[in-house]
Amino acid sequence: MEKILVISSSVILSIVGLIAASAIHSAFSRRRTVSKVRKEEWLREHRRMKFETLNLLPAPVRNYLSAVISENTEQIRFTTLEQRGEFRSLSQPKWGKLKATLSHSGTIPGMAWHASIKVSPLSWTTAQLLYHDGYGSGYVKFMGIFTIFDPEGKEVSHALLTRILMETVWFPTSLIPGGLLRWEPIDATSARAVITNKGKSVSAVFHFNENNEVERVITRDKYRDAETSYEREQCTMYCSKYQNFGGVRIPTEVRLEWNMEEGDYEYARISVVSCRFE
């Protein structure tokens, strides 16, 4: 019995050690990418925003930006969000509790997202997605140790650039002309945004409500994980509960869903619990 206890203790200690080592490595990888993105952002020439250029934008975009930022708003160089919510995948349809940290650069496409998703006390995964210098990568690990998915390649880079475009609602100064993207008019309540980085271009349609808020963003440029590859699929992000952070109004609740031929599949419900601009 004593021998069994010793062996069991050794196994438990080994697993705890692996979890700790993996967490340290993940944190180092994320910090390294954030550091690179931050350095590149701050080395860029800091140009003062020209609020009058809003007149060049499609009417619903102009009304939206006038509602969420002011003439005195400084260009956002870096954004850090703490997120809570629920997440699931097509292969794992059971909802898990999400806790995540998201960082975005404000004038060049760059992001780092680290999350833990807990389905039960003994079943959780960690996930990390990084985009820098036109390249996207990431991983999903069971219990933070065993890699079950490590996305990379052109589809991943394409999908993460699309995600950056959709998430500009969290750092809206980047939507002013001369920033990350350009706008194309559609009608009185929607407009198309196009972002280009390192030879890749993606687009999304932003829909605005009567309060001059982005209420949903729809794109056909996102890829979802399939059994043996990636499949391009329409994705919709719904935005609500706008709040003021440092003079900037952003949505604090979003929902994301895949819009597939067989029906819609909601896969994320996210709440912003804190937001810091630099």
Residue 144: the pLDDT is 73
C-alpha distance across the termini of the chain, in Å: 58
Q: What is the pLDDT along the chain (278 residues), one digit of tens a residue?
A: 555 544 444 444 444 444 444 445 455 555 665 666 655 555 555 555 667 778 889 999 999 999 999 988 888 999 999 999 999 998 889 999 999 999 999 989 999 999 999 988 777 899 999 999 999 999 989 877 778 878 788 999 999 999 999 999 999 999 987 756 899 999 999 999 999 999 999 999 999 999 999 999 999 999 987 655 789 999 999 999 999 999 999 999 999 999 999 999 999 999 999 999 99
Residue 90 φ/ψ, nearest 5 degrees? -65, -35
d(CA 266, CA 259) in angstroms, rounded, equals 9
d(CA 20, CA 15) in angstroms, rounded, equals 9
Assign a CATH topology to domain 2-44+53-277. Answer: outer membrane lipoprotein receptor (LolB), chain A (2.50.20)
Reading the block at residue 154, the tokens are 């052109």
| Per-residue three-class SS string for the chain | CHHHHHHHHHHHHHHHHHHHHHHHHHHHHHHHHHHHHHHHHHHCCCCCCCHHHHHHCCHHHHHHHHHHCCCCCCCCCEEEEEEEEEECCCCCCCCEEEEEEEEEECCCCCEEEEEEEEEECCEEEEEEEEEECCEEEEEEEECCCEEEECCECHHHHHHHHHHHHHHHHHCHHHHCCCCCEEEEEEECCEEEEEEEECCEEEEEEEEECCCCCEEEEEEEEEEEECCCCEEEEEEEEEEEEEEEECCEEEEEEEEEEEEECCEEEEEEEEEEEEEEEC
Residue at 171: amino acid letter: F
d(CA 35, CA 143) in angstroms, rounded, equals 26
Residue 72: the pLDDT is 86
Beta bridge pairs of residue 196: 201
Residue at 172: amino acid letter: P
d(CA 11, CA 15) in angstroms, rounded, equals 6
Q: Specify the residue for token string 């069994």.
A: 4
Q: Which residue from 179, 175, 177 is spatially nearest to 214, judged by alpha carbons?
A: 175
Please check whether residue 269 is in contact with residue 263, taking contact to mean a CB–CB distance below 8 angstroms: no
Residue 92: the pLDDT is 86
